[in-house]
Structure 1
């Protein structure tokens, strides 16, 4: 039994020696231990307190390689301006007037004052050659004569004026002076066709010398001045008429 025990001990020693001789020596790689050393946290004995990890070293980047290629420039789109519509000048309303009822000595004065105001006008007067006068006989008051004149305008009569010179024909309504009786009678028939009933024709022996002034292309300011001027002449009136 002894020799069996001795044999087993020797056999174990022999196996152990062979294993030691044949095993590859263990090498410790120091470099492997140092790998990721920056990520190691040092824990102290105090609770809740840890050291701040060391900042990682910036990794150097390679500088961009210089290139001779020129940057491609995209041409800006050309914008064609839209044609602007030409401004059409505003049309100025043309004002045409006829100033009537200027009698006797008033005619020369009215003519001069129109020139002073810079108003160009065409004068129409009844001189010594006139033969007949178409008119409505004087009414009782000036207000009644003006009211009758307003009715005439509503009926379509355009050539009339109220006599207001303080003479014999005060408050009469003149409807026109003509060179021949035939022309006067024809105008009287036209008035009757419009509804005028009280108009008459008389010979020129005592008719009034009259004048009217027609103006075109007046401005609002000139029209205002003309209206103010007409107030200085009794019986005269300014009416806007259709421009011809």
Structure 2
């Protein structure tokens, strides 16, 4: 910025000097002829021939102007002095136009880093878990080898034994009369169901964990002449599953992480 300002100032100075030389004063001073004390200048051709020997001295005195008297011949050299200014000041002009710097070559793109071969994964459903505590324990144990996981809840029916009974009667009195006939046949261990539900006014003949014992009891009552029936007693309870995505080589880790009773790992759809 400073170099540009200096360059503009030098150009303005050169223009001013050129204008002064062309349009300014010519360097001569008008001198009235009637001024006293100013000798009159004459050319050599105007002098008489007889005085040509003394002409040099006279012309020398005429040509050499005095310090106090202005002369057209003495003022003329003043116009030479501005010339060096333009020559000297023009030097900074070369520094204004700097040579263009070479453009840095674009950095070469980095070489591609070799990637490891893709690993294969599988999706497994781990469970069922009777409690969420068992699910969280297994999920924590598998966290280091699990790519992603999710938990879900399902409803399942659990068997709670087998019941043997006589079908429900239309009224309670009819159910009590049927129970008395059972007792008359020597069949003990029964009771009339009074609770609301599909078994209300039925006669319960026993609840067995082993289905073989339930069948034996049913056959005994049928042999006595009663329409005994046998059915499984079930209850709907919630269970939890853990779906995981693990590498193919993580089968051993999955088996070691499953410690809940009844829980296993089986293939499932990926998510």
TM-score normalised by length of structure 1:
0.30
Structure number with higher helix proportion: 2
TM-score normalised by length of structure 2:
0.27
